[in-house]
Amino acid sequence: MKKMLMLTFTFLLALTIHVGEASAVIVKDEEKVSFTMTENEKWFMKSDDLNSNHWTSHFGYRFTIFDTEGCTINARIMRMTLSGYEITVSEKNFSGDHFNFSATDRVEAMPYKTHYLILTKDPDCGDVKVKGLYGFQFDQPEW
């Protein structure tokens, strides 16, 4: 009888214990771009406006680069500090064509900071075509 009471008590106790679920939604604040780079430099600027609670976010890009004819494209991600200084956070060089959004980079963003993406090419290069996305992503917890 004691075993039966103890088993019933354990079973009821197990039913009352609830483990909460943790889940998140990835929110994307990205811009689509498609252009021909005729100038030697192209700037993009974005601030993290959708992330008002300042959850961990990332700034980055995914590009397809073609018609490079052997040129190298330099991509720099920069951040503007509150005092107005520009800091290079990441810098990558892409030589030749990159298809299927294979020219990528991503850095952790900081709240209250404007982020820049600067694409440059050599002055002796011809026109280069670029398509893709740049912007912010952050994980918003579901409540």
Homologous superfamily of 31-141: Mitogen Ypm (2.60.120.510)
| pLDDT value of position 27 | 72
Given a cut of 60, is residue 23 above it in pLDDT? no
**Which pTM was predicted?**
0.74
Average pLDDT of the chain is 83
Q: pLDDT tens digits, residue range 81-134?
A: 778 888 999 999 998 888 888 889 999 888 777 889 999 998 888 899 999 999
- Domain extent listing, the chain: 31-141
Q: What is the pLDDT of residue 47?
A: 81
Residue 21 is predicted with a pLDDT of 60
- The answer, yes or no, to whether residue 2 has pLDDT greater than 70, is yes
Q: Which residues contact 132 (CB under 8 A, 6 or more apart)?
A: 32, 33, 34, 61, 62, 63, 64, 101, 103
> Measured between alpha carbons, how far is 68 from 64 in angstroms, rounded to an integer?
11
Q: Is the pLDDT of residue 140 over 90?
A: no
Complete DSSP assignment for 19-81: PPP--EEEEEEEEEEEEEE-SSEEEEEEE--S-TT---EEEEEEEEEE--TT-EEEEEEEEE-
